[in-house]
């Protein structure tokens, strides 16, 4: 198959690009595209053309997905060709040139069963595959089989593929492995089966456990019953043991209660209340006595203490002065340091001022303070100055750039082609497109005319009109419709007549047959006597009588006459017979008169019918003549048209057909006229388009039709419009650049104005800051910092001054206060002469003693008041206690206080005995295990207290024993139940069975996988070996030649050798040296693979339909000589099949152009 | 009016076959499946308040010895006893050989009909007579039904029989009989067992195989369960199939013809699996996936079928809320390119394909492949070398299949390595 043309209608960067690959018998086509030119897109397009545009493509950046279009023109060796369009999509992507849809498999015949994968693998090579091929040879140690098979299939990584298969298989199984999946699975299966046997529960095992359990249940039942019996007995004995002493105790308490007799029951708190009242009375008496005594003592003490002294009155003033004394002293000690600091700040201020403004003294420095107030403004102005400078610079730079851009645009304008007005061309194109696809329309008209003419001719032939008349159809004198109608009616009338006559004839003959039959029937049934019969019978009678008379009268021998008349016999004997016969006929005539009449009527009828028949025959003859006349008239009407006219009843149809023929004939003429008119129009359009094109540019027009011419013109139009767009774009840019220059100038001016305004403001801000002119921004800022320091030092000195003055003022106030106090205390003399500090100190100490004394005095008075209150309270308490005791006496019904204790004792005894009785009864109820006291008394009657203990002992021993046995039995039962429960649970064995099936399922899958891999590996090794054996000789021979060429005779040939019992490939130097693959350089190995591949491709071209061999930039690593040699070799291959070489490299293109024979080399630049 | 349940072929505790427990497999869904199906049967009987239950043989698997299985059966029968539902059972071929049947002590509502001669039991409350004869030995080849008594017109008669009738595909011939013989007995309903596929053999009289209770492998597909029979006026008024299976087997055929990408193939499989899962009424599904047709991405799949098997298994996890277990995947053999055309070319790939195709018929090549597989064959346990799912690597039909699969694998991997796409 050869690709004649690859049309890049809309694909990648291409629009309506055509690569003509038709040159050469096959041709080496070098498609050259520098980077970005779309070389890779073109290569993808070639694949996409043949096998479809992939769903995800990188070639839809200019044209959207749905618009991607490719076109192609292919040819098979046998000469079959196909032209088609390829669209993007999943189905129905093939179209004919006229847009009609082609079958998806329309290309199959041209692709000869080569799928896309195989085309790419075998019929293509790129740099990566070349390098991989070389590497495979190295990795396979030049294995001959692998190398040949790889070259033969285009496959790579064959060696690693075999290894991959074997390794995959080994992960599944190894004969002596344990950790491989299959080995593991087999081991697991064995383990599970073993485990399953262990967990199987047999029927015996179950039955045994079940029986044991039942026995244990029965035994536990018996033991439990016995145990309960024992427990009941034990309980009864224990009860008796408990209640017997209680009954004895109850009897004793009952007796004592009776002994007490009647007793007043006192409240339970009576005794306490009595004791409390007695204690309270006693305490109240004592308190009263003590309080009276203390009051008298305190009264004496208060009298001994005197009034409050004056110093205590001045206590606050003294304390205040003493507290101020400390700070007074501290201020005095701080004062000298403050004086020093003040002086230091003043010196600093003077020094700094001398440095910045020697013209000013400290007082004058105050004038500087206003600048500090402007500090923010000055800083803002300083930074604004920087921005203004930068803006000015930018504006200047922008102006300069715009001017440069303007210069460049001016130069570019001079390089643009002159403007061409495409209007005429556009008009011509639009006019040419006005009628749509005119050429198709013309073709349609031609076909219509042809089809109509053919149909017309066929119809004429069917109408049997002589060929000579075809051109004179419209002049033929065909009978008019009216005439035909007349003929039809006449013929119809004749037909009807004929039908009526025939029917009449049939009726007559039928009736005649019926009449004949009637006559025949009348005659044959019994001959009807006629008048003639009667006359004959009578004549015979009368003859016989005459004969008799003759015989008798004349004695004449009448025998002979009698014989003739009557037959044999005697005349005399026969005569009566004749008489009888004549009478008989006469009788019958009379008796059968109806039948006679019927016969007569029938005969008459028949006669009439015979006449009718004759009449009918005559009418038939007349009719025949009329038919003949009509036919002659018909022929006459047609004589100018047809020799043999159609039958009358077909005449109308013939005329209708003829009318259609006439119509069609007119259509033919009209279609031809339209066709000719369109043809002329197309010619005009072509001329007009070519004229319009040529007026714009010397265009070479192919001798194609209108659509091609339109397409060519359209491309020219697009190009011109493209140029126009460039020019418009250029004009827009120039306008923009001029505007930019103008804007930049304005910016420069504005920057200047702003700078001047700034200068004025600056002067306002800093004028007079320093001696002389306005300082620069940075200087001004430095000076400001200095002034700030000067003013801060001056301020600090002032602060110190204020603090010193404060100290002096406080000292004077202190001294005045001291003197005032001394005056109040009458100690003025003590503070004379500056001894204030010592006086205050002493006074403070004295005050402490005076204050202590005064506190004692106050306490004594307070105590006296409290003691007086106590005496009143204690007296009241004494009286209350007496009243309480009196009330208690009444309650206990006692006459004297002394009886109270006895009454209390009796009440308590009765209460205690009563409580004991209740307690004992409660104990009885509690100890009685739910029985009533009466029942217990019943049970106890006659009980032997001493025997109870013995019986209890025996019962306890038996109880322990039974209980022990029962516990054992229950344990055994629990064990048996657990065992049964275990047996009853989910079937572990069935879970193991499930595990076995799961393991088998896994193993089945793994075994199939393993076997598939092993079979694949084995088959591949075998096939590689087979291929080597069958193809080694021819392939090596051809590859030798190619290798020699490509290596520029650095190697003489390739040979098979053996290494480690395995055939390998070696190169042989001209000097006979044998170089194994690993001894070759990487590039040479690549070339070795290249030679093998080409040999295989050539062999395949011979074996079947050759396919184009697509080479993608493989020569980059070849040196110049080998590159040129490789191109020669490819040119050589091109004599067997089309070779399409894609390249980015100029030197490859140049090298290809330099190749001469043997095949044609065509370079296409993208 | 009353109803009764008819079930057969319960095969308690027999495992499901062919389910590889791959990583995401819903293993719990298959655990104890036959037990859970049997529990469902018992619940159904109680919920439907049936008059009685008939079981037509094969409660157990013949060679199954674990007594726990029998205890489980007794436990379930006890539940029916509590609901006052009697159960009538004939032993099937499997039960005849089972140790369990002989030793088990069943509750008094369970009646095993005699294996020596036909036995008739009456359910007096409903005027029902149940006739049946169990299998005394594993292989019963005489027509047991022939000796069943003729039914008395005043009662409703149920004939209980474990039989292959005139013969059923894939089932051994046991107690053969014919519909004519059965029809002559004058019974209204014949409750049969042994054939694992549901079938209504006749409607006059009713002759019904309910199928087995739970499908156990990929050849037992579709709903499985029992038959609920409604009787009115001594005549069958309704026969309903009730599914009690817990895991449903399905063969999921997916046409991948024309699929452009593996994504599309997986998408189609996913849709088919979802549809299958939806049909299972919330049960887990064990699906065998069979792909047909030729996908454009055929080579990509052929290059590594194991990988795509894993993909499909992973896919199955998310297709439905019910569990889907992929039992096996049969990949399609059709391919978009015509191998015959490719094989016809006289080049390396063509001769490769021809020779591989010829290998299946070449004794030399077969011998070589057998030798390559001898190691693994020796190591395999007997279960894998025989039976329905045997994987004997020396078996001719398997070898033939392996050669085709190996060819596809090689072709796909050669093409994968040879093209840069």
> Angle CA(A784)–CA(A790)–CA(A794) in degrees, nearest 5?
140
Chain B environment of A156 (Cβ under 8 Å): 417-418
pLDDT of residue A346: 86
Q: What is the CA radius of gyration of chain B?
A: 26
The B residues from 337 to 366 touching A (CB cutoff 8 Å) are 337-338, 341-342, 344-349, 351-352, 355-356, 359, 365
Token pair in block for residue B212: 């087995």
pLDDT of residue B402 exceeding 80, the answer is yes
CB contact at 8 A, A770 and A386: no
pLDDT of residue A701: 66
DSSP H stretches of helix in B32-66? 33-47
Chain A environment of B349 (Cβ under 8 Å): 118, 122, 152-153
pLDDT of residue B64 exceeding 80, the answer is no
User: DSSP label at B60?
Assistant: B
Q: Tell me the nearest-neighbour CA distance from A1093 into chain B, angstroms.
A: 11
Lateral strand order in the sheet of A14-20: A14-20, A2-11, A69-75, A81-87, A94-95
State whether the Cα torsion A648-A654-A659-A665 is positive or negative: negative
- Whether B376 contacts chain A with CB within 8 A: yes
pLDDT of residue A671: 84
Angle between helices A270-304 and A836-891 (to 10 degrees): 150
pLDDT of residue A162: 87
pLDDT of residue B190: 97
- Whether B15 contacts chain A with CB within 8 A: yes
Rounded Cα gap, residues A178 and A183, in angstroms? 5
Residue of chain B whose Cα is closest to the Cα of A1103: B346
CB contact at 8 A, B256 and B332: yes
Displacement of CA B302 from its chain's centroid (Å): 30
CB contact at 8 A, B105 and B75: no
Rounded Cα gap, residues B310 and A1147, in angstroms? 51
pLDDT of residue B162: 95
pTM: 0.54
CB contact at 8 A, B83 and B46: yes
Helix (H/G/I), strand (E/B), else coil: B62: coil
Residue that wins the pLDDT comparison between B8 and A568: B8
Chain B environment of A88 (Cβ under 8 Å): none
pLDDT of residue A1159: 56
Question: Quick check: A200 and B14 CB within 8 A?
Answer: no
Residue of chain A whose Cα is closest to the Cα of B366: A1015
Instruction: Give the list of residues 6+ apart from residue A647 with CB closer than 8 angstroms, or none.
Output: none
Beta strands in B8-124 (DSSP E): 52-55, 87-89, 110-112, 119-123
- Assign B420 a pLDDT band (cuts: 50, 70, 90): very low
- Assign B421 a pLDDT band (cuts: 50, 70, 90): very low
- Using DSSP bridges, classify how beta strands A28-32 and B284-292 pair: parallel, antiparallel or unpaired: unpaired
Residue with tokens 């007005």: A421
User: DSSP label at A527?
Assistant: P
Question: Quick check: B351 and A1030 CB within 8 A?
Answer: yes
ipTM of the complex: 0.92
Nearest to A155 by CA among B412, B223, B138: B412
Nearest to B21 by CA among A193, A991, A1012, A178: A991
Residue of chain A whose Cα is closest to the Cα of B343: A113
Question: Quick check: B345 and A1003 CB within 8 A?
Answer: no
Residue with tokens 């536990």: A220
Rounded Cα gap, residues A1123 and A305, in angstroms? 141
The helix (run of H) or strand (run of E) holding residue B288 is strand B284-292
Chain B environment of A1015 (Cβ under 8 Å): 369, 372-373, 399, 402-403, 405-406
Q: How far is CA A807 from CA A834, B321, B333, in A?
A: 18, 96, 116
Tell me the pLDDT tens digit for each residue of A904-916: 888 888 888 888 8
Chain B environment of A994 (Cβ under 8 Å): 15-16, 30-31
Question: Quick check: B376 and A206 CB within 8 A?
Answer: no
Rounded Cα gap, residues A923 and B109, in angstroms? 59
Rounded Cα gap, residues A145 and A1036, in angstroms? 11
CB contact at 8 A, A720 and A420: yes
Residue of chain A whose Cα is closest to the Cα of B377: A1007
The helix (run of H) or strand (run of E) holding residue A966 is helix A945-984
pLDDT of residue A703: 64
The helix (run of H) or strand (run of E) holding residue A112 is none
Instruction: Give the list of residues 6+ apart from residue B327 with CB closer than 8 angstroms, or none.
Output: A1001, B18, B19, B20, B218, B249, B286, B287, B288
Q: What is the CA radius of gyration of chain A?
A: 78
Query: What phi and psi, each to the nearest 5 degrees, are found at residue A724?
Result: -65, -40
Residues of chain A with pLDDT below 50 are none
Query: What phi and psi, each to the nearest 5 degrees, are found at residue A271?
Result: -60, -40
Rounded Cα gap, residues B258 and B294, in angstroms? 6
Displacement of CA A652 from its chain's centroid (Å): 74
Instruction: Give the list of residues 6+ apart from residue B148 with CB closer than 8 angstroms, or none.
Output: B118, B131, B132, B133, B159, B161, B185
Q: Tell me the nearest-neighbour CA distance from A705 into chain B, angstroms.
A: 40
**Of B349, B379, B410, Cβ closest to residue A1019:** B410
- Whether B402 contacts chain A with CB within 8 A: yes
**Of A121, A1007, A1013, Cβ closest to residue B419:** A121
The helix (run of H) or strand (run of E) holding residue A400 is helix A375-415
> How big is the A-B interface in CB pairs under 8 Å?
252
Cis peptide before A446 (omega within 30 of 0): no
Nearest to A681 by CA among A364, A442, A963, A444: A442
**Of B27, B327, B348, Cβ closest to residue A1096:** B348
């Amino acid at each position: 198959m050869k690709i004649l043309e690859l049309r890049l209608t809309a694909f990648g960067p291409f629009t309506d690009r055509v690569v003509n690959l038709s040159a050469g018998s096959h041709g080496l086509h070098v498609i050259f595209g520098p980077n970005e030119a779309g070389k890779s897109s073109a290569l993808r397009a070639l694949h996409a053309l043949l096998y479809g545009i992939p769903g995800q493509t990188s070639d839809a950046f200019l044209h959207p997905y749905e618009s991607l279009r490719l076109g192609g023109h292919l040819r098979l060796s046998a000469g079959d060709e196909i032209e088609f369009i390829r669209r993007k999509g999943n189905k129905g992507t093939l179209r004919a040139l006229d847009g009609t849809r082609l079958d998806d498999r329309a290309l199959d015949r041209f692709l000869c069963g080569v799928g896309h994968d195989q085309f790419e693998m075998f019929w293509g090579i790129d740099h990566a595959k070349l390098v991989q091929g070389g590497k495979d040879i190295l990795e396979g140690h030049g294995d001959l089989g692998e190398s040949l098979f790889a070259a033969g299939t285009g496959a790579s990584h064959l060696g690693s593929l075999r290894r991959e298969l074997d390794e995959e298989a080994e992960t599944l199984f190894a004969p002596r492995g344990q950790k491989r999946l299959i080995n593991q699975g087999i081991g697991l299966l064995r383990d599970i089966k073993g485990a399953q046997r262990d967990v199987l529960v047999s029927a015996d095992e179950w039955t045994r456990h079940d029986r044991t359990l039942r026995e244990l249940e029965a035994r536990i039942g018996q033991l439990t019953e016995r145990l309960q019996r024992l427990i009941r007995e034990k309980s009864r004995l224990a009860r008796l043991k408990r209640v017997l002493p209680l009954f004895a105790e109850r009897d004793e308490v009952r007796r004592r209660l009776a002994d007490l007799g009647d007793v007043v029951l006192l409240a339970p708190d009576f005794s306490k209340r009595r004791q409390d009242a007695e204690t309270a009375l006693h305490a109240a008496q004592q308190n009263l006595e003590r309080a009276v005594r203390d009051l008298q003592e305190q009264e004496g003490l208060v009298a001994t203490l005197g009034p409050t002294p004056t110093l205590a009155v001045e206590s606050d003033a003294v304390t205040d002065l003493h507290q101020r004394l400390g700070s007074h002293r501290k201020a005095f000690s701080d004062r000298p340091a403050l004086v020093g600091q003040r002086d230091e700040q003043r010196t600093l201020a003077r020094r700094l001022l001398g440095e910045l403004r020697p013209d000013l003294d400290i007082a004058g420095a105050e004038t500087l303070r206003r600048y500090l107030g402007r500090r923010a403004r000055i800083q803002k102005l300083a930074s604004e100055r920087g921005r203004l400078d930068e803006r000015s610079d930018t504006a200047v730079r922008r102006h300069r750039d715009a001017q440069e851009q303007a210069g460049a645009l001016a130069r570019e304008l001079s390089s643009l082609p002159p403007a061409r007005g495409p209007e005429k061309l556009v008009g011509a194109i639009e006019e040419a497109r006005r009628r749509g696809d005119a050429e198709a329309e013309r073709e349609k008209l031609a076909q219509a005319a042809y089809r109509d003419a053919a149909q017309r001719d066929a119809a004429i032939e069917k109408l049997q009109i002589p060929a000579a008349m075809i051109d004179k159809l419209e002049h033929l004198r065909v009978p008019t419709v009216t005439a035909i109608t007349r003929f039809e009616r006449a013929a119809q009338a004749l037909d009807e007549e004929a039908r009526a006559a025939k029917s009449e004839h049939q009726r007559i003959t039928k009736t005649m047959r019926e009449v004949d039959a009637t006559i025949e029937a009348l005659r044959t049934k019994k001959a009807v006597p006629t008048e003639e019969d009667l006359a004959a019978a009578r004549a015979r009678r009368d003859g016989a009588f005459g004969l008799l008379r003759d015989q008798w009268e004349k004695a004449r021998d009448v025998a002979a006459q009698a014989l003739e008349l009557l037959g044999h016999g005697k005349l005399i004997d026969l005569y009566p017979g004749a008489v009888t016969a004549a009478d008989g006929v006469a009788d019958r005539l009379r008796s059968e008169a109806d039948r006679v009449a019927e016969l007569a009527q029938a005969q008459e009828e028949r006669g009439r019918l015979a006449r009718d028949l004759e009449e009918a025959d005559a009418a038939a003859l007349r009719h025949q003549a009329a038919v003949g006349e009509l036919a002659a008239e018909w022929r006459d009407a047609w004589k100018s048209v047809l020799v043999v006219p159609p039958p009358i009843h077909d005449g109308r149809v013939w005329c209708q057909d003829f009318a259609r023929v006439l119509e069609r004939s007119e259509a033919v003429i009209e279609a031809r006229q339209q066709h000719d008119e369109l043809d002329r129009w197309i010619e005009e359009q072509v001329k007009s388009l070519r004229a319009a094109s040529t007026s714009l540019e010397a265009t070479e027009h192919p001798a194609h039709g209108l659509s091609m011419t339109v397409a060519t013109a359209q491309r020219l139009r697009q190009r011109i419009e493209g140029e126009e767009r460039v020019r418009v774009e250029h004009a827009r840019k120039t306008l923009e650049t001029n505007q930019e220059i103008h804007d930049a100038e304005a910016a420069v001016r504005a920057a200047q104005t702003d700078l001047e305004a700034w200068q004025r403001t600056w002067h306002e801000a800093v004028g007079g800051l320093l001696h002389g002119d306005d300082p620069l921004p940075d200087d001004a800022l430095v000076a400001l910092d200095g002034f700030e320091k000067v003013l801060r030092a001056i301020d600090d000195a002032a602060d110190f001054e204020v603090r010193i003055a404060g100290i002096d003022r406080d000292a004077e106030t202190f001294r005045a206060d001291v003197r005032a106090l001394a005056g109040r205390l009458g100690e003025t003399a003590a503070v004379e002469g500056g001894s204030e500090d010592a006086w205050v100190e002493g006074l403070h100490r004295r005050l402490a003693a005076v204050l202590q004394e005064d506190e004692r005095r106050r306490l004594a008075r307070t105590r006296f008041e409290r003691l007086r209150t106590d005496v009143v309270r204690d007296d009241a308490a004494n009286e209350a206690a007496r009243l309480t005791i009196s009330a208690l006496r009444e309650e206990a019904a006692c006459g004297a206080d002394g009886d109270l204790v006895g009454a209390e004792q009796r009440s308590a005894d009765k209460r205690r005995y009563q409580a004991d009785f209740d307690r004992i009864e409660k104990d009885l109820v509690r100890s009685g295990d739910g029985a009533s006291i009466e029942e217990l008394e019943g049970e106890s009657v006659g009980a032997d207290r001493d025997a109870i203990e013995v019986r209890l002992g025996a019962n306890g021993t038996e109880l322990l024993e039974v209980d022990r046995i029962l516990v054992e039995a229950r344990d055994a039962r629990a064990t048996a139940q657990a065992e049964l429960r275990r047996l009853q649970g989910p079937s572990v064995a069935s879970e193991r069975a499930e595990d076995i099936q799961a393991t088998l399922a896994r193993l089945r899958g793994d075994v199939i996988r393993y076997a598939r891999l092993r079979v694949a590996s084995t088959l591949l090794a075998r096939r590689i070996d087979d291929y080597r054996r069958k193809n080694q000789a021819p392939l090596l021979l051809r590859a030798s030649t190619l290798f020699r060429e490509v290596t520029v005779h650095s190697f003489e040939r390739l040979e098979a050798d053996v290494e480690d019992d395995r055939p390998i490939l070696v190169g042989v130097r001209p000097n006979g040296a044998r170089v194994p693959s690993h001894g070759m350089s990487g590039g040479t190995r690549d070339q070795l693979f290249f030679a093998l591949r080409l040999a295989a491709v050539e062999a395949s071209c011979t074996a079947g339909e050759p396919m184009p061999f697509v080479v993608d930039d493989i020569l980059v690593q070849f040196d110049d000589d080998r590159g040129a040699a490789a191109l020669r070799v490819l040119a050589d291959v091109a004599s067997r099949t089309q070779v399409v070489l894609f390249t980015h490299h100029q030197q490859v293109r140049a090298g290809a152009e330099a190749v001469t024979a043997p095949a044609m080399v065509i370079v296409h630049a993208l | 009016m009353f109803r009764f349940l008819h079930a057969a072929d319960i095969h308690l505790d027999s495992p499901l076959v062919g389910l590889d427990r791959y990583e995401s497999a819903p293993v719990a869904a298959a655990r104890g499946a036959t037990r859970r199906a049997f529990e469902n049967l018992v619940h159904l009987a109680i919920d439907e308040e049936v008059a009685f239950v008939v079981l037509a043989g094969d409660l157990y698997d013949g060679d199954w010895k674990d007594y726990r299985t029998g205890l489980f059966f007794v436990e379930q029968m006890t539940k029916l006893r509590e609901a006052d539902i009697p159960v009538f059972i004939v032993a099937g071929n499997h039960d005849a050989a089972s140790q369990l049947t002989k030793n088990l002590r069943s509750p008094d509502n369970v009646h095993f009909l005699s294996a020596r001669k036909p036995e008739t039991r009456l359910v007096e409350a409903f005027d029902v007579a149940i006739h049946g004869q169990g299998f005394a030995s594993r292989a019963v080849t005489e027509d047991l039904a022939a000796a069943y008594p003729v039914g008395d017109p005043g009662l409703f008669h149920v004939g209980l029989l474990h039989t292959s009738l005139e013969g059923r595909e894939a089932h051994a011939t046991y107690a053969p009989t014919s519909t004519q013989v059965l029809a002559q007995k004058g019974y209204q309903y014949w409750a049969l067992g042994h054939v694992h596929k549901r079938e209504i053999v006749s409607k006059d009289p009713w002759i019904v195989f309910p199928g087995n209770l739970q499908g156990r492998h990929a050849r037992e597909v579709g709903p499985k369960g029992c038959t609920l029979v409604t009787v009115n006026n001594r005549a069958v008024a309704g026969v309903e199939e009730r599914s009690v299976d817990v895991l449903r087997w399905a063969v999921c055929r997916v046409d991948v013809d024309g699929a452009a990408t593996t994504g599309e193939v997986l998408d189609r499989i996913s849709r088919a699996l979802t549809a299958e899962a939806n049909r299972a009424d919330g049960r887990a599904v064990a699906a065998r996936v069979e792909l047909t047709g030729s996908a454009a991405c055929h080579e990509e799949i052929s290059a590594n079928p194991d990988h795509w098997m894993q993909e499909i298994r992973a896919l199955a996890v998310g297709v439905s809320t019910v569990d889907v277990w992929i039992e096996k995947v049969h990949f399609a053999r059709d391919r978009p390119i015509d191998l015959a055309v490719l094989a016809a070319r006289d080049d390396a790939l063509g001769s490769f394909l021809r020779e591989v195709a010829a290998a299946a018929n070449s004794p030399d090549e077969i011998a070589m492949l057998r030798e390559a597989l001898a190691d693994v064959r020796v190591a395999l346990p007997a279960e894998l070398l025989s039976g329905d799912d045997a994987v004997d690597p020396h078996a001719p039909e398997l070898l033939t299949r392996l050669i085709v699969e190996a060819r596809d694998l090689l072709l796909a991997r050669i093409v994968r390595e040879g093209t840069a796409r």
